[in-house]
Structure 1
Amino acid sequence: MKFPKSSARYLNAILLSGVMSFVVSGFATAKAVGGLPPGIVMQWLGAWAIAWPIAAVVAILVGPRVQRLVARLTQ
């Protein structure tokens, strides 16, 4: 399955936010529960299920502004 080139910005934001929120929610969940107790995987996935859509929306909305800022900060 191929997506049209016009969707690249959105697909990038969705995939990158998924990976980032997965990693960050894992560390945050482990910290919140005090380590790696039984059942942490389900807690982690629950936290990720909430975090990913939020991260994706933020990435889609803020991404262009960040790209413009990076362009101004670099040569």
Structure 2
Amino acid sequence: MIPSKYQRFVFAFFMALLMSCLMSFVITLFNVGLVDNVLIIWLKAWAFAFVVAFPAVTLVAPIVAKLTQLFIAKDT
């Protein structure tokens, strides 16, 4: 198991992996349609998207968490 001190990076890894997968697939289909080699095109796009998404999520997640707290009511 991975030590809990790395929770932020494990979260960022899986969030980036799944979101880049979904978004690159949708955008690939939107841009090229269901062509013969769409799987190869998508996998290349996904690889590139993940390389960008992982550091982005790692950097942005703490900011988003703080912004979220501004909009969530505190229990009384």
Compute the TM-score of the two structures, normalised by the length of structure 1: 0.93
Long gaps (5+) in structure 1: none
Runs of 4+ in 1 over 2 A off after TM superposition: none
Query: Taking every aligned residue pair, what percent have the same amino acid on both sides?
Result: 30
Alpha-carbon shift at residue 53 of structure 1 (Å): 1.5
Q: What corresponds to 1:45 in structure 2?
A: 43
Distance of 1:22 and 1:61 partners within structure 2: 19
Q: What corresponds to 1:64 in structure 2?
A: 62
Provide Cα deviations, 1:9-44, integer angstroms capped at 9, x if missing partner: 1100111111011010001011111x2111100000
Distance of 1:49 and 1:74 partners within structure 2: 35
Within 5 A, what are the aligned runs for 1:1-75? 2-33=1-32, 35-75=33-73
Q: How many residue pairs align between the two structures? A: 73
Distance of 2:40 and 2:5 partners within structure 1: 36
Distance of 1:38 and 1:7 partners within structure 2: 41
- State the one-letter code of the partner of 2:46: W
Compute the TM-score of the two structures, normalised by the length of structure 2: 0.92
